Amino acid sequence: MQEGFCMWFTGLPCSGKTTVADALADRLRKLNVRVERLDGDIVRKSLTRDLGFSKRDRDLNIERVTFVAKLLSRNGVATLVTFVSPYIKARDNARKECTNFVEVLVDASVDECERRDVKGMYAKARKGEIKDFTGVDDPYEPPPNPELILYTEQESLEESVERCLEKLAELRLIPVEYKEDYTLEEEKTIQKRLEDLGYL
């Protein structure tokens, strides 16, 4: 039976959390892993649409998401959570509540995040149109010991996804045979070798 887990992606807005997690979800589905996504933008339109961005509301936002992630992960679902989740205390609580919690810091500089910001949120924050924006006028508390750090300024998307899969395989949360030990050419070579020896 599939073992559930909660892979929690934290980092500045536009650091690449959603992009990596969406691509990872695709890879996991191809491995027949049951996956659910809890994404900040989407959850805020439904489960937590009543909440704002005050410290209290942000804490409540994470609390509710943690509750859902807890239910999913303990019932065998690979739960990929993508929230800025800037506070250590809230993430530590999620670690306590969820099954097989894997914390992933998605690391990119503020400048790079701003460069990527297609919605113009950083610009609005700098103008004062958005208050308490993490990375501008609200602090981000990086995790001291995440299970994985993705350096999205240096790595390609494929590399980041691969590293996530490696970590999950290392933790035996996904089958270790996810990784292709052979290129197509190498696999053909080995198959031929086995055939020639009478083993196929």
* Chosen residue from 125, 126, 177, 184 binding another protein by CB under 8 A: 177
CA distance 74 to 70: 6
Q: Least distance to another protein from the beta carbon of 3, Å?
A: 12
| 181 touches another protein (CB under 8 A) | yes
| 193 touches another protein (CB under 8 A) | yes
| 184 touches another protein (CB under 8 A) | no
Count the site residues for another protein by CB under 8 A.
19
CA distance 30 to 178: 10
Contact 73, 2 (CB under 8 A): no
CA distance 99 to 112: 33
Given the residues 46, 54, 73, 85, select the one marked as catalytic: 85
Nearer to another protein, 42 or 200 (CB): 200
| 1 touches another protein (CB under 8 A) | no
Site mask for another protein (CB under 8 A), range 32-71, x = bound: x---------------------------------------
CA distance 83 to 6: 13
CA distance 13 to 1: 35
| 29 touches another protein (CB under 8 A) | no
* Chosen residue from 46, 50, 184, 196 binding another protein by CB under 8 A: 196
Q: How many CB atoms lie within 10 A of CB 34?
A: 14
**DSSP state, residue 177:** G
State the helix-helix crossing angle for 157-170 and 17-30, rounded to 10 degrees: 60
User: Which residues are at the interface with another protein (CB under 8 A)?
Assistant: 32, 176-177, 179, 181-182, 186-187, 189-194, 196-200
